[in-house]
Amino acid sequence: MEFLKPLQTDLAVEARENIVEQTSAPISGLHVENDENDEDVTITRVTIDSDQAQQMVGKPKGIYVTVEAPGLRYKNTPLSAKVMNYVAQELAKLLHVSSDATILIVGLGNWNVTPDALGPRTIDKIVVTRHLDDLLSPELKGGVRRVCALAPGVLGLTGMETAEIIKGVVAEVKPQTVIAIDALAAASSSRVVTTIQLSTTGIHPGSGVGNKRFGLTEDSLGVPVIAIGVPTVVHASTIAMDTIHILQEHAAFARYFKSLETLSDQDQQKVIRQVLPDILGDMMVTPKEVDRMIDDIAVVVAGGINQALHPNIDYENIHMYLH
């Protein structure tokens, strides 16, 4: 197997595109299904179920569903509602829980760092119901899952790994499934705040905008973990790498860059590794309006979760169901 260029991204769909661009050989255990019936929204389902596919794509085995809607960059309520529905449908397919299950929603990330605040801001908008058991009217009892939610904060704020806190809470609250929400890094700026990824693999160390040292997975927590993520930053390395690609590919510069065509991947990586630490330090690349955009997409993610977990409720008026 030839050596393929890796790509720094938390999106399986980008990691897979990158591999496919570099090899024409079929990869066993890597399945892709596209759903483009809606002109505003593309749904892609990537399944990784072999060791080879896992290694080549660089993502753990599991199902990765991406709901992409470039229009989400602009405030557009009808589109948001539509994407919310798709997220609810896709989440419902990945969830295998009874109609009275307890579900714990965890919002990862740091509320003080805007592009890392997707998790906490989504938690804010989750309709929690676990504490209402005794208040719900009989006709609702069967149709409402017992939902609880927590945004514990990051290691630097709590002194505790998120995994430690959640492990403790899971032991006490005993949910059937955990849903973990996190801000991601993408390779392409066009996917920032326009793409929602759902996966059955949980959260893995090193992923997301913050630096995780421990994951939140079925292995570590003892219950299935569904991860929902939205890219809010692009890797700065993307800019450096794309600069090199433009130099290599563009006809207008051909006379200078003949030799660049043969620049080896290792040398290219060396450039990237040299450029970034010096220039960028702890910098991130993010949309100017990231604050508003994250608020908007948090509504979509939370709405999708609310709808998938309690399909029969009119959430806006949930207070009317309480007695």
Residues 42-81 that bind its own copies (CB under 8 A): 74-78
Closer of 21 and 289 to its own copies (Cβ): 289
Interface residues for its own copies in 255-274 (CB under 8 A)?
Answer: 255-260, 262-263, 267, 270-271, 274
Radius of gyration of the chain (CA): 21
Interface residues for its own copies in 186-225 (CB under 8 A)?
Answer: 188-190, 192
Q: Of the candidates 213, 166, 197, which has an alpha carbon nearest to the alpha carbon of residue 42?
A: 197
CB atoms within 10 A of CB 133: 10
The helix/strand/coil state of 146 is strand
The enclosing H or E element of 41 equals strand 41-48
Q: Does 101 bind its own copies (CB under 8 A)?
A: no
Q: Does 152 bind its own copies (CB under 8 A)?
A: yes
Q: Does 247 bind its own copies (CB under 8 A)?
A: yes
Q: Pseudo-torsion of CA 215, 217, 220, 223, nearest 10°?
A: 150
Closer of 25 and 254 to its own copies (Cβ): 254
The site map against its own copies for 113-142 (x = CB under 8 A) is xx-x------xx---xxxxx----------
Q: Does 305 bind its own copies (CB under 8 A)?
A: no
**Selected binder of its own copies within 156, 205, 206, 311 (CB under 8 A):** 156
Least gap, CB of 289 to its own copies (angstroms): 7
The enclosing H or E element of 238 equals helix 236-249
Q: What's the rounded Cα separation, in Å, for the pair 284 and 209?
A: 9
Closer of 138 and 159 to its own copies (Cβ): 159
Q: Of the candidates 238, 257, 236, which has an alpha carbon nearest to the alpha carbon of residue 247?
A: 257
